[in-house]
Amino acid sequence: MLSYEWLKTEYVVIFFLIFGMISGVFLVAPLFSNRAFPLRVRVLVTLMLTLILFPLMPKPDLAFATASNLQFIALLMQEILLGVILGFIAYFTFYRDWE
C-alpha cells in the first residue's frame, strides 16, 4: 500500500521553502542568472536540487500545520530573500572588474 506521508502540510511547506531559497539563489548567481541558461533548465535544476535536499531536512514540528496563509507567504518571502542575498554574495565573490 502506498504511503502518502510526504503529502502532509508540513512537508509541502518545507518543500516550497527549499524551492524558494534555491530559486532565489538562481535569480542572481553568476552562472545561472545568465540569459544563455534557459529558464526551463533553471526551473528543472531548481526542482531537482529541491528533491535532493528535501529528504535531508529534519522532520518539522506541528507549528507549520497551524500557520496561516499569510505566515506561509512571509516565510516563503524570507527564504527567497535569503536565497537572493546568498546569490549576491556569490556574484560579488566572482565579480571581476576587467577595466
* Per-residue pLDDT, 58: 81
Name the residue with higher pLDDT: 24 or 7. 24
| Interatomic CA distance for residues 64 and 25, integer angstroms | 24
| pLDDT tens digits for range 12-46 | 888 899 999 999 998 888 888 788 888 898 899 99
- Which range, 26-35, 60-69, 84-93, is most confident? 84-93
Counting Cβ atoms within 10 Å, is residue 83 exposed (0-12), middle (13-18) or buried (19+)?
buried
CB 4 within 8 A of CB 27: no
Average pLDDT over residues 71-76: 88
